[in-house]
Amino acid sequence: MFGFGDKPQTQGDLIKDSSEATFMADVVEASQTVPVIVDFWAPWCGPCKTLGPALETAVKAAGGKVKMVKVNVDENQRIAAQLRIQSIPTVYAFWQGQPVDGFQGALPASELKTFIERVSALAGDGGLADAIEAAEQMLAEGAATDAAETFAAILGEEPNNGAAYAGLIRSHLALGQIDQAQGLADAASPEIAKTKEFDAARAQIELARQAANAGPETELRVAVEANPNDHQARFDLAQALHASGKVDEAVDELLELFRRDREWNDGAARTQLLTIFDALKPQDPIVLKGRRRLSSMIFA
């Protein structure tokens, strides 16, 4: 589906060193299409000297289905702190911008192979990609009922297909059936609940509930202009903007709130930003730009 076999990849494409300056591009952005395994190591770490080469061998053997990035924690302490690296070696697998798997310590080659296979499978299409694509097209064109029927038929063939299950949830949301969508989310199997698509659908449910209770945009904008430090008004304005389809403006307001007081209301601005990002496609320009700006503030 992602064309891993379209052209040979060199070791430079598959395995590279990263830093605080390039981590977003090397890992977060690169993992939108190919899973990226990140090896956190240090020159003084004995087990790292065993794990690193073994992991590189396993990544090369995967034939381009995964990439590997090496991060020296001594030289990149802010990244290690942000990801709460407690000991090394630690290995995280990133898929579509998020850590989704990992382990600590050195593993035997057989377990590394199993780990790589598990991570590689994240980019698989489940054999029903064409049907899912057709249902997504129906949903995009406003034929939510037809989309729901198609997603349901796919689930009849593959009950734990996360993309189809999430599509069914989003179809109910498109029909204004928030409670039915919530019911499906609550009934999701553990396998489905682990998928990125399900996370996106669940985020969309939360945003749909917020939209139903959004305040008046004009009045909230006036309140923020009158008092830029009225954090609640700015947060409410962001919700109202999102409810009216002005997603980029909502993200701007939340980033400004985070810049002014990142700890306000238990980090509500960051939480809301992540909910919005989760609800959108990982490659959406709003997501890529917003995550980059948020990251630059966090690491500033």
| Domains delineated in the chain | 11-123 (3.40.30.10), 129-191 (1.25.40), 217-298 (1.25.40.10)
CA angle 147, 152, 153 (to 5 degrees): 100
Report whether pLDDT(235) > 70.
yes
Report whether pLDDT(3) > 80.
no
Cα separation, 69 vs 56, in Å, equals 10
Torsion of CA 179, 181, 183, 186, to 10 degrees: -130
Which of 79, 10, 5, 98 lies closest to 41 in space, CA to CA?
79
Residue 156 is predicted with a pLDDT of 82
> Which segment of 16-25, 163-172, 231-240 scores lowest on mean pLDDT?
16-25
Residue 128 is predicted with a pLDDT of 61
284 tagged catalytic: no
Residue 53 is predicted with a pLDDT of 92
User: Mean pLDDT, to the nearest integer, of 278-286?
Assistant: 92
Report whether pLDDT(78) > 50.
yes
Report whether pLDDT(28) > 70.
yes
Which of 33, 28, 8, 9 lies closest to 18 in space, CA to CA?
28
Of residues 233 and 32, more confidence is placed in 233
Backbone angles phi, psi at 226, to 5 degrees: -75, -35
Q: Which of 48, 91, 201, 247 is catalytic?
A: 48
Q: What is the pLDDT of residues 169-219, one digit of tens each?
A: 999 999 999 999 999 999 999 999 999 899 999 999 999 999 999 999 999
Residue 68 is predicted with a pLDDT of 94
Residue 10 is predicted with a pLDDT of 40
Q: Are strands 90-95 and 98-104 parallel, antiparallel or unpaired?
A: antiparallel
- 245-284 burial string, b = 16+ CB within 10 Å, else e? eebebbbbbbbebbeeeeebeeebbbebbbbbbbbbebee
Q: Which of 28, 34, 37, 45 is catalytic?
A: 45
45 tagged catalytic: yes
Q: How far is CA 46 from CA 49, 81, 106, in A?
A: 6, 21, 10
Average pLDDT in the chain:
89
Report whether pLDDT(238) > 80.
yes
Report whether pLDDT(239) > 80.
yes
Across 93-102, 124-133, 221-230, the highest mean pLDDT is recorded for 221-230
> Which segment of 1-5, 88-92, 151-155, 189-193 scores lowest on mean pLDDT?
1-5
Report whether pLDDT(145) > 60.
yes
Through-space distance between the first and last CA atoms of the chain, rounded to whole angstroms = 37
> Which segment of 187-191, 238-242, 288-292, 296-300 scores lowest on mean pLDDT?
296-300
Q: How far is CA 58 from CA 5, 15, 41, 115, in A?
A: 17, 11, 17, 9
Cα separation, 24 vs 292, in Å, equals 7
Band (pLDDT 50/70/90 cuts) for residue 7 is very low
The helix-helix angle for 178-186 and 162-174 (nearest 10°) equals 160
How many Cα atoms sit within 13 Å of 118 on the Cβ side? 14
